Amino acid sequence: MRIAFSAKKSGSELQMDERFARADWFLIYDTENEAFEEIDNTSIKNAAQGAGIQAAELLIRKDVNVVVTGKCGPKALDALRSVDIPVHSTNKQRVYDALNELLLAYGEK
């Protein structure tokens, strides 16, 4: 499973970003190899308009199965749902905590 997190970096800690399309980074965790892929989201987050759809399209191209974020706008949500990618909302501050929460919900831990 490939899980995308909206994130910001703060030192060595991987922090959740409550924003989806305007997040600094997307971190994609692959449960098969237990590793993160980092995607700089600067070009999308600074877009004048359409950031939500662009961010959703990026993650669709990256073969993501699940998105974890704080808040996701309606257009991005519709784009992700149209290809059966669920969006899980979390209030966790750290990516690792949100990852553990999701893995427990999916019965993977």
Which residues have CB under 8 Å from 103's CB, separation 6+? 31, 109
pLDDT 10s digits, 69-87: 999 999 999 999 999 999 9
Q: How far apart (Å, rounded) are the C-alpha atoms in residues 87 and 16? A: 14
pLDDT grade, residue 106 (50/70/90)?
confident
pTM: 0.92
Tokens of 109: 């831990």
Rounded to the nearest 5°, which phi and psi values hold at 44? Answer: -75, -45
**Average pLDDT score over residue span 88-101:** 94
Domains and CATH numbers, the chain: 2-105 (3.30.420.130)
Which residues have CB under 8 Å from 61's CB, separation 6+? none
C-beta of residue 100 within 8 angstroms of C-beta of residue 106: no
pLDDT 10s digits, 14-24: 899 999 999 99
